[in-house]
Structure 1
Amino acid sequence: MMPPAAPRAVWLLVRLRLVRLLNLGGSLYGRKPKAGKSRAATGGKRRGRWILPVVMALLMAAAFTNMSHTILLNLHCELAPVTACASAAKPFDAQQVAARELAGGGFSTALMQGLTLHLALLWLASLLVPLGSRELAHTDWDLEWLVTLPVPRTTLLWARVLERTVTNATGLLMLWPTCLVIAWHGGLRWWAVPAATLAALALLAPAAMARTLVDTGLRLALPPSQLRNLQAAISVAAMPLIYLTISLSLPGRGIALGWAAAFPAWTLWTPPGLVVQWLDGAAWPAWLLAAQVAALLAAGVALLGRQLADGVVAAGTRETGRRAVAGKPLRVLPGSPLQRRELRLLARDRNFLVQSLLIPVIVIGSQLFFTGGLRDMAQLGSEPKLLASIAFGLGSYVLVLSAFQTINTEGQALWLLYTFPHTLERMLREKAVLWAALALAYPAVVFAVGIAGGANVDARLLLTMAQVALGILVFALIAVALGVWASDPLAQEVHARVRPTYLYLYMTLASLYGYGLYTDAWPHRLAVVVLVAALALALWQKARDELPFLLDPTAAPPRQVSAADGMTAAVAFFAVQGIAFFMLRAGDGPAALPDLALAFAIAGAVVYALARLVYWRAGTAGVPRLLQGRMLPALGWGFACALPAVGVGLLWMQGLRQAGVAFPAMNVAGHVGWLIALASIAAPLFEEFIFRGLIFNGLRRSLRLLPALAASAAIFAVIHPPLSMLPVFVLGACAGLAFERGKGLLAAIVTHALYNGAMIAVQL
């Protein structure tokens, strides 16, 4: 069989890499097969995995397009010799002025120099980000087996550069939107799409060549240990470039804008400068750009040939490793044996050490420094909210790169943890505590700097510090729990071992907690803390159920009622209630009590029916029943547990009245029957099913009685008005005790109904 021609060989190698990336992207979002089911070896792969990656890519492209549009208009306002942007009252008005001025003529020389800096920064990021990926630190090098193919070395090198040009996702997401915006404002309009594509590829080709030259030379010259250290350094250097580019979109003479104003004119003759001139409407820069790119690629391939003249493996230098130091005693480290093992592994893996503990500082610091979020250190002392957000942001970001990767870092050696004389849950809990302790160091430093900068140490600041510390502890549990589902320890590809969907969920929850730090309303702060802490318990419980099945791709834990089911049902209950009330309500006046009662009943019935249907179809164990024993003891427990709840409620109302604070007056407008039906029938039935039957009942699988009572009662309390949180907390605890002792929902329903009836009677 004759070897393929050079064009066909290049096409086959590029297509091989594209198919590999497509399969890898699909595996990132795949789900674990259901228990007892597995596909045949020759069966097709599940379809539809490409949807979420494509959606995320489109969203990121839209974000970069918007940022590039803002950067171009801002550079025009700041660098153009004659502009009317200064007369605009708001930044948005200045952008409108810049857009009209650009529509009336071409780019000024100063603007083209600023855009050249913009493209140069993005080009450098498109080189460093792929170069700093984990591929450089892998012991396996794909070029070692590619050279065995029946293809000439020159053809192989051209194919390698071409496939790295078209598969540089980071470069495409950054350079293509920028070129598109430049071409659109340069007057190309609908021709901007093909022009931007060609321009982006023209810039990515030299980046691919530079990356190939660098990683080939490094792999031939350095052992794997030094490659890991260098990869960590490159990944650190790539982060500030992105934030430096973002700072170009901010008005004012920042560092990046100062560089743009002083960028030399000769850079217009480099590939980024020629791209700007070409997209501005001139034709001749395209020919010069093509000549420069061709010359650079030809010179690069020639240099690669000289690098590989002696073969792919160079004299065993890549096989060298660290030499053991004999007789040196091990340092005594704090913590349990597993935590000490984790610290030693962290100290040995420089790449993981840098990514876990240093990159968060660089990311947050670059964002604050280059984007102007932090003007000086004294600003930390004058703005406690900014101080708290930076402290929590640093700590939570550290957990993303450390605790979230707990299962992933074990990799295919995860089975070793199953041989230890402890449960896997306990070992993961120890790791969560370790990472929480390390992450807490960052908020401590931030608060220390803020206090040194003049922050007033009062009760409010101390409360905020405690809230941040509690948030770090809670999110350490959340990160480890989500990492159980996000990680696939059986995946052969390193990039496929973490599913990004759960990373987005973690960041969303962290943003919710950040809102709790920024708000001034203490009920909102308390609600955020309680709900996030309860969610951490629920996620940890689900993760604990999953742990025995991590190493079996076809097995799944048996379905049991969990606290996560209850939290999902609670969210659905309030959502359906809002929709039903919106459909029932007529006019813009105050809410009618019959509408509220009907909406509540509809939402409760829908959620109850759906939950029972799902549990029946899945064969779930532990589904709450109305009565699991004799009726009279259940009624007795319901009545007995209602007495302390009613007593606390009456004392609380009397205390509020003595303090001059009363509950809002109720205007039943002749609908006393509707009020009684809502408070004493509908609310006890449906709320007890959710909060005691699902949340409390689920928590009891993993918590003792008192912690489960406190957690479920706290969740129940924070969804009520602030004035009633304390008595409702007591009611939740009493109803949970009635459910526990009465062996069913009937006792809890009786407790809830008697309490609501007594409160209504007193208020009426």
Structure 2
Amino acid sequence: MIGPLRAIWLLVRLRLLRLWNVAGNVGRSKPKGPGRGATAGKGRGRWVLTVTMALLMTAAFTNMSRQIVLNLHCELAPVTACGGAAQPYDALGVAAGELAKTPFTTALMTGLTLHVALLWLASLLVPLGSRDLGHADWDLEWLVTLPVPRATLLWARVLERTVTNSTGILMLWPACLVLAWYGGLRWWAVPAATAATFALLAPSALARTVADTGLRLSLAPSQLRNLQAAVSVAAMPLVYVTISLSLPGDGIAVGWARAFPSWTLWTPPGLVVQWLDGASAFAPALLAFEVALLLVGGIALLRRQLANGVVAAGSRESGRARATASAPALAPLCILPGTPLQRRELRLLARDRNFLVQSLLIPIIIVASQLFFAGTLRDTTQLGSDPRLLASIAFGLGSYVLVLSAFQTINTEGQALWLLYTFPHPLARMLKEKAQLWAALALLYPAAVFGVGLWYGTRIDTQLLVLVAQVAAGMPIFALIAVALGVWASDPLAPEPATRLRPTYVYLYMVLASLYGYGLYTQAWAHRLAVVVLVAMLALALWQKARDELPFLLDPTAAPPRRVSAADGMAAAVMFFAVQALVFAVLRDGDGPPVLRDMALAFTIAGAVVYGLARLLFWRTGTTGVPALLQGGADVKQALAWGVGCALPAIAIGLAWMTALRHFGVALPAVDVDGRIAWLVALASVAAPVFEEFIFRGLIFNGLRRSMALLPAVLASAAVFAVIHPPLAMLPVFALGCAAAWAFVRGGGLLAAMLTHALYNIAMMAVQAG
């Protein structure tokens, strides 16, 4: 028999290797020997999104923890100059300067103890509520057969859950890092924060193991699922209480921090605060003693719980029998609305109490917690006076319903997913039916919110009607996004339900929802339109990629062959504008108006970078369908003829639009040709047509043509092309986008579309210069 330390190391290493495999084996070398000829490896490139989202979330939590420390200092310190700041957020700079000179006060340390304690509770409840407590613990039942003492197995389980609690690390490590930095440790803050984080996560792992391992032997599966539902409901407000501590002003959570008892400084969260601030030389030793005492006592409790074995006799079968016998009589499927698949989904939703609570109740708790603890909604009469707040609440509820329901479409099928492949309908069609169902259910929440707003006196005007239309359009858009992202987020082959969902895509969904929420609050109509069009286009692009992935979901090694898609075009467009902004910021000198030469250089450099990277990526991955100047047997004469022919109606519409604007007294920007005409001609006739046509016609339009009819693809690509231009130019640019797409189709490649674009730009420039 091997020693206990080596056994613990081997078991923890086994768990880490399993998580590594689930994550996609970042950087894994390609196996030697013949492979599958038509497909690439599954999961290629997913690590880029995972790493990007992890860095973004770490940065967000670090910034939040910084604001919490500084805000609590301003509110709790007995002497501070924060009150003399002109703006609330200016006080944070004052607080940072004061903390750099003085240690934490006792009141501040007590408030920070509440902050760390809330994060610790979240690190326990969020993972606990995300797994099915009623699910049989096959992992432990298999490990207990090894020639290793049961106590060693329990120590190994607590240790591996300590180091693999990604939620806890994401929440606690940035907070400890900020505390150590402002506590004076500076560059020693990283190792100190890491040690403090794992010291707190060890008791969290122990409590989680006691709950999901020990309680499984004493509670029925139905009781465990009720417990899980309660844990899920309790976990959400904790996060928003913590976030509210970062908001300026004496809010509810700050009042709790002020009244938090001082004896909590001697609990593990309080000792972490004292240690990182250097307030007590004995704090690290006392923290280690308390954590060790908790672990030893917890392992003893677990050994007592498992004294009679790790399997409750007949619990699975009897639990299933009890659940079947006590299931309430539900309405026959035939009287429920929708398609047969949608009626099945409604029936399963009514049976699954956990999923029902998760998808329909938790969104209300999340949004209510945000409004209550952030102080955004002071009283219900505010719903009648602030239509943008009303729309934000409505969209927030609907979007949370979708991320907790439609996002789980593949995941909830579990091991029965293969049955959907046997139905006499394409899987994409069935997923679309589910998306339609969840969009309809999610729409009920905005309808109720707007109804409450009308009850409290919201005035029906143009602004309200536009907001209602935006929210209503957002539900089907985000239902499609949720289902599409859920295809990549779910791993139906994962042995454990808790590992079947990749959280990276949940964060991506929330980022997109935040972008749409910005479109509800902005006053500029052009920005609102741009957000709706871009997010809708992104939904179509993601759905196309998801459809490509569906035939390979149950294949552990194969992935769809690489083809140009609309998602490639959207990614290229985002990179194009990001690089353009970065280059322009480097080139710009001073704070005056932008120089045309700098704009032209930034545009040209960004276009060249994106064009080169896209071509390189397509070549390296063997992507098919890459756009070319001439394709499909077209010749130069045909391309030139269609390029000129399609430019004429676009130019006519542009000239008519400019004439109408001048007639109504709208001032148009004049083109100054003095010494800079060469830059302008190069930008308008060469750079813009080459790079923009490659992105918007070659990638976006060409990608949409794989899954859409010609006319919808033309309109969708032209709409995206239009909304990235100034508001006054959107209508004629939309016409140009339609003309260039038609030239691309009829002229047989990018050459015709580029010529259409170049002639239009030169004509508009000539008119403005004249």
TM range (shorter): 0.7 to 0.9
Summarize the Cα distance change of 1:295–1:593 in structure 2 as closer, same or farther, 3 Å threshold: closer
Summarize the Cα distance change of 1:161–1:487 in structure 2 as closer, same or farther, 3 Å threshold: closer
Match in the other structure for 1:703: 708
Q: 2:461 aligns with which of 458, 463, 474?
A: 458
Q: 1:483 aligns with which of 482, 486, 489?
A: 486
2:146 counterpart letter in structure 1? L
1:663-707 C-alpha deviation (Å, 9 max, x unpaired)? 322222377677666545665555444433443333222222221
Is 1:717 matched up with 2:722?
A: yes
Identify the range of structure 1 (469-478 vs 597-606) with the bigger mean alpha-carbon deviation: 597-606
Match in the other structure for 2:560: 557
Summarize the Cα distance change of 1:154–1:466 in structure 2 as closer, same or farther, 3 Å threshold: same
Identify the range of structure 1 (280-289 vs 254-263) with the bigger mean alpha-carbon deviation: 280-289
Match in the other structure for 2:208: 211
For 2:714 and 2:253, the matched residues in 1 are separated by 55
For 1:673 and 1:189, the matched residues in 2 are separated by 53
For 1:556 and 1:539, the matched residues in 2 are separated by 16
Match in the other structure for 1:314: 312
Is 1:661 matched up with 2:659?
A: no
SS of 2:133 mapped into structure 1: helix
Summarize the Cα distance change of 1:261–1:753 in structure 2 as closer, same or farther, 3 Å threshold: closer
Match in the other structure for 1:147: 144
SS of 2:345 mapped into structure 1: helix
Match in the other structure for 1:546: 549
For 2:766 and 2:104, the matched residues in 1 are separated by 76
Deviation at 1:177, TM superposition (A): 5.3
Deviation at 1:762, TM superposition (A): 4.6
Deviation at 1:472, TM superposition (A): 2.3
2:525 counterpart letter in structure 1? W
For 1:589 and 1:460, the matched residues in 2 are separated by 35
Summarize the Cα distance change of 1:729–1:139 in structure 2 as closer, same or farther, 3 Å threshold: same
1:470-505 C-alpha deviation (Å, 9 max, x unpaired)? 122222222222333333333334444334444443
Check conservation: 2:119, 2:172, Cα contact below 8 A: yes
Check conservation: 2:22, 2:494, Cα contact below 8 A: no
1:726-762 C-alpha deviation (Å, 9 max, x unpaired)? 2232233233334434444555455545545554555
Deviation at 1:427, TM superposition (A): 1.4
Q: Give 5+ residue unaligned stretches, structure 2.
A: none
Check conservation: 1:488, 1:498, Cα contact below 8 A: yes
- Percent identity between matched residues is 73
Q: 2:232 aligns with which of 232, 235, 239?
A: 235
Summarize the Cα distance change of 1:141–1:93 in structure 2 as closer, same or farther, 3 Å threshold: same
Match in the other structure for 1:623: 627
Deviation at 1:527, TM superposition (A): 2.1
Structure showing greater Rg: 1
Match in the other structure for 1:420: 423
Identify the range of structure 1 (335-344 vs 166-175) with the bigger mean alpha-carbon deviation: 166-175
Q: 1:220 aligns with which of 217, 220, 223?
A: 217
1:207-264 C-alpha deviation (Å, 9 max, x unpaired)? 4443333333420123334323321221221121222233334444433333334344
For 1:179 and 1:457, the matched residues in 2 are separated by 49
Match in the other structure for 1:345: 348
SS of 1:149 mapped into structure 2: coil
For 1:335 and 1:652, the matched residues in 2 are separated by 46
Is 1:733 matched up with 2:733?
A: no
Check conservation: 1:275, 1:285, Cα contact below 8 A: yes
Summarize the Cα distance change of 1:699–1:307 in structure 2 as closer, same or farther, 3 Å threshold: closer
Summarize the Cα distance change of 1:476–1:458 in structure 2 as closer, same or farther, 3 Å threshold: same
Q: Give 5+ residue unaligned stretches, structure 1.
A: none
Identify the range of structure 1 (296-305 vs 139-148) with the bigger mean alpha-carbon deviation: 296-305
Summarize the Cα distance change of 1:188–1:335 in structure 2 as closer, same or farther, 3 Å threshold: same
Q: 1:124 aligns with which of 113, 121, 124?
A: 121
Deviation at 1:135, TM superposition (A): 5.4
Summarize the Cα distance change of 1:17–1:696 in structure 2 as closer, same or farther, 3 Å threshold: closer
Summarize the Cα distance change of 1:505–1:29 in structure 2 as closer, same or farther, 3 Å threshold: farther
2:324 counterpart letter in structure 1? R
Check conservation: 2:409, 2:434, Cα contact below 8 A: yes
2:242 counterpart letter in structure 1? T
Check conservation: 1:35, 1:555, Cα contact below 8 A: no
Is 1:370 matched up with 2:361?
A: no
Deviation at 1:521, TM superposition (A): 1.7
Deviation at 1:272, TM superposition (A): 4.6
Deviation at 1:462, TM superposition (A): 0.8
Identify the range of structure 1 (338-347 vs 583-592) with the bigger mean alpha-carbon deviation: 583-592
For 2:593 and 2:211, the matched residues in 1 are separated by 70
1:221 counterpart letter in structure 2? S
Q: 2:528 aligns with which of 505, 525, 529?
A: 525
Deviation at 1:523, TM superposition (A): 1.9
1:43-100 C-alpha deviation (Å, 9 max, x unpaired)? x999999898778667656655554554455445444556665555555665566677
SS of 1:142 mapped into structure 2: helix
Q: 2:242 aligns with which of 242, 245, 249?
A: 245
For 1:201 and 1:375, the matched residues in 2 are separated by 39
For 2:98 and 2:573, the matched residues in 1 are separated by 54
Deviation at 1:463, TM superposition (A): 0.7
Summarize the Cα distance change of 1:760–1:344 in structure 2 as closer, same or farther, 3 Å threshold: same
Deviation at 1:205, TM superposition (A): 4.4
For 2:611 and 2:190, the matched residues in 1 are separated by 52
Summarize the Cα distance change of 1:29–1:236 in structure 2 as closer, same or farther, 3 Å threshold: farther
2:251 counterpart letter in structure 1? G
Structure 1 segment 486-505 matched on structure 2, within 5 A: 486-505=489-508
Summarize the Cα distance change of 1:146–1:349 in structure 2 as closer, same or farther, 3 Å threshold: same
Match in the other structure for 2:383: 380
Check conservation: 1:634, 1:746, Cα contact below 8 A: yes
SS of 1:136 mapped into structure 2: coil
For 1:295 and 1:537, the matched residues in 2 are separated by 55
Count of aligned positions = 758
For normalisation by structure 2, the TM-score amounts to 0.83
TM-align CA RMSD: 4.4
For 1:71 and 1:673, the matched residues in 2 are separated by 53
Identify the range of structure 1 (639-648 vs 705-714) with the bigger mean alpha-carbon deviation: 639-648
SS of 2:379 mapped into structure 1: coil
Identify the range of structure 1 (325-334 vs 718-727) with the bigger mean alpha-carbon deviation: 325-334
Summarize the Cα distance change of 1:35–1:390 in structure 2 as closer, same or farther, 3 Å threshold: farther
For normalisation by structure 1, the TM-score amounts to 0.84
For 1:408 and 1:31, the matched residues in 2 are separated by 29
SS of 2:725 mapped into structure 1: coil
For 2:104 and 2:575, the matched residues in 1 are separated by 54
1:622-670 C-alpha deviation (Å, 9 max, x unpaired)? 7344373466666665555445434433332332222122532222237
For 2:72 and 2:143, the matched residues in 1 are separated by 46
Is 1:330 matched up with 2:337?
A: no
Deviation at 1:344, TM superposition (A): 2.1
SS of 1:527 mapped into structure 2: helix
Structure 1 segment 413-452 matched on structure 2, within 5 A: 413-452=416-455
1:301-325 C-alpha deviation (Å, 9 max, x unpaired)? 4433332233222332343221246
